[in-house]
Structure 1
Amino acid sequence: MLDQLEKEIVQYLTPEGKLTSVGELAWGEIPTDLKKQFFQWMTQIRIFDRKMILLQRQGRIGTYAPLEGQEAAQVGSALALSQDDWVFPSYREHGVALIMGMPMQQVILYWAGRVEGCRPPKGVRLMPPAVPIATQIPHAVGAAWAAKLRRESYVSVAYFGDGATSEGDFHEGCNFAGVFRLPAILFCQNNGYAISVPFSRQSASATVAEKASAYGFPGVCIDGNDVLAVFVTMSEAIQKARSGQGPTLIEAVTYRKGAHTTADDASRYRPSDEVEEWIYRRDPLVRYSLLLQQDGCLTKAEMEEWEEECMQKVEKAVKIAESFPKADATHLFAHVFDSLPPSLEQQKEALQHLEGGYPWEK
C-alpha cells in the first residue's frame, strides 16, 4: 500500500516529526491553542481506547473495535467541523464522537450494549455508529441534500473504512452527491484492511481518492497519520462544501495498530514487517509530540501531566457508566420495528412475565 501511495499522498508532517515545505506554511497559521488541542485529543483518545480493550478482556463490555493508530485521522478531521455539522460514523469513530460532544460514559455504554449509548446530548449532531458496512453514506448524503434544499449552511460527513468502498452504498452515495453537488464530505480512513482483506484485493485502483473522478468531484489522498494534513485538507473541503462547490472524497491513509475488533487476530493476515513499520515508524502521536517539543509548544513534563489527567477522566467515565442501573431486558425489542411482529411480541410478553429473575439467576 505504501509503495503505491508515496508519490501522490499529501503530507505536512513526516514520520520523523519534521515539517514539509507546505507543512511549515500551515504550521505558522494554526493558533497555539489548536496545536495543543491536537495533542490533547489524540492522547485522550488513545488512553480511552486502551482502557476499553482492558474492559473488554475483563468482560465488562462486549466486543470492541480498537482505533489506536488512527487518532490523527479522527482528531484532525473532527476539529475542523462545527457543532452545526452532521456526523455519520461507522463503528470505529469513538474519537470523533468524543470531540463532537458525546460524553465518554455514553460511548462506554454503547460498547456495553446499552441503548443510552446511542443517544447524544441535545445539540450534538451525531448519528449512532453504523455497524452495517457503508449504510451511513447514503444517510449522510441525504442530510446534505436536506441542507441544500433548506438553504442551511451545515456540512454532512460520512466516516467509513476502505472496506466500505466495496459496497454499492458507497458508489450510490458518491453518485448522488456528485450529481446534486451536495455539501457532503466522504471521509475514508483507509487502514489497509477490510477485516482480513487487504485493499489490493478490494480494488484495482491504487487509491480510494481517485474513484471520486468518476462522480465528478475532487478526491484527495492524504497521510492519515499526519494530523496537520488531515486538518488542513478537511478544512478546505468544508469551506468548498459550505460555499456551494460540492462534495469531496478524502482518503486518509492510516493503520490500525491492533485487530479489527477484540474478536479478531490480526497476526493471522498482516505481515510482521508491515506492522512494525506502521507501529514504530509512523505512529501519529509520536511524530506530533516530537514536533511540539521541537517547536517549544509543550514540554515533556506538560505532556505527562496531561496523560495523567486523561487517565483520571477515563476512570471517572468508567465509574459513571458502570453505576447505571441494570438495563431493562425489553430494550432488545425496541427501536427496530415500529410495530413488533407477532413472534417477537410473544417473546417480549414472556420476558415481561418472568418473576424472580431469569431462570439461570435462580
Structure 2
Amino acid sequence: MADVAARAGVSGQTVSRVVNGSPRVDPATRARVEAAMAELGYRPHRAARALRTGRTHTIGLVVSTLATVGNSRMLQAVSDAAASRGLALVVVTLHAEVDGGIASAFERLEDQGVDGVVVLNEATLLARDVAPPEGLRLVVVDAPAEDAAGPGSSAHPATASARNGRPGAGQAGAGRTGTAQTDHAGGARAATRHLIALGHTRIRHLAGPLGSYAAAERERGWREALENAGLEVAEPLRGAWTSGAGHTAAALLDDAATAVFCANDQMALGMLRGLAERGLDVPADVSVVGFDDVPDARDYRPPLTTVRQDFDALGEAAVSALIDDPSGGGAVIPAQLVERASTAPRR
C-alpha cells in the first residue's frame, strides 16, 4: 500500500479509502490510485483485511436444494449482487449437511466468519425454529412478514438471540433479521383475473407443496381473485414443483375446468403434456398459466402465459437488506403477468 501511495503521490489513507470503496475520494485521485495499483500489481489481501477490520467481505447463503429452477436462479441473482459489491459467497445446501440441519449450516458459516447470511425459500421455514449464533445477521427470502419482526420479538429466533453484532460485522443492524420477497399473491391475482376476463368460470389451481411460503401466497392470490369475482373455489391440486407433478395433475383435472393456474412453469409444462395426452387442446379447450417465466417458457408448445418473477431484483434486494439497509429490508418485488398463446377466451 505504501508503494501504491508513493507511485500515485497520495497518502496511505487515501489508498485505503480507494481500496475500501469510500466515496470520500475525488474521481481524478481515485483514477490515479487505481492506475498505480494496476501498474504495481497490487491486490488487497482478503485475510489481512479481515484481521484488521473484523469483516471478511463474505456472505453465506443457505438453501434446501438447488434442484428447483427458482432456487438456482436465486443463487445466481444473489451471487451477482454480492459480486457487484466485491463480496465473496459461501453456499450451504441443507441436504448436504451430515448432521444438525440448518443449525449446523449456521455454525459452519459462522466458523468461516461471514458478515451475514441469506436464507432462501423453503429453508426459511426451518430457520424459524433455530436460533443462529449470536450476532449473525440474516435476511430471509420469501418468508412471512412476522419472520422479520423487530429485535426482541419472539416471531423469529434470530431477532431474539442476535442482539450484539460481531465486532466490525456491519455498521448497522448487526444481528437483525430482514426479508425480501416477491409479491406472489399479487402475481397470482393478476393471472387469475386474466383468466376471468377471458370468460373462464371454472379455474383450477395446481398448487406447490405444503410448507412453501411462495406456494401458499400464490394459492391465496388465486383464491382471492375467484372469491372477489363470486366464482367457485375448488380444492387445489398439489404438486412438488416438477413437470412430472404437472403431468400427473392433468389426469386428475375435472372435465368442467376450462382453465388452470399452475404455481410454477415446470408444473405448467407437465400440465400441457398431460392435457395433450387426454386429447385436449391448449388453449382451445383449456387455458394454462404458469408462474416464474423461466427462459424456456416462450418456447413451450404453445408459448406459456405466465407470471414473471424478477429474480435479479429479488437477489439485489436480499443482499442490500443484508449489507446496505440499516432498517433490515422488507422489500416486496412486483410480479408481472406475461400473456402468450396458452390462454384464450372460453369457448
Query: RCO (CA 8 Å, sep 6+): is it higher in 1 or 2?
Result: 1
Q: Which of 1 and 2 has greater Rg?
A: 2
Normalising by structure 1, we get a TM-score of: 0.30
Normalising by structure 2, we get a TM-score of: 0.31
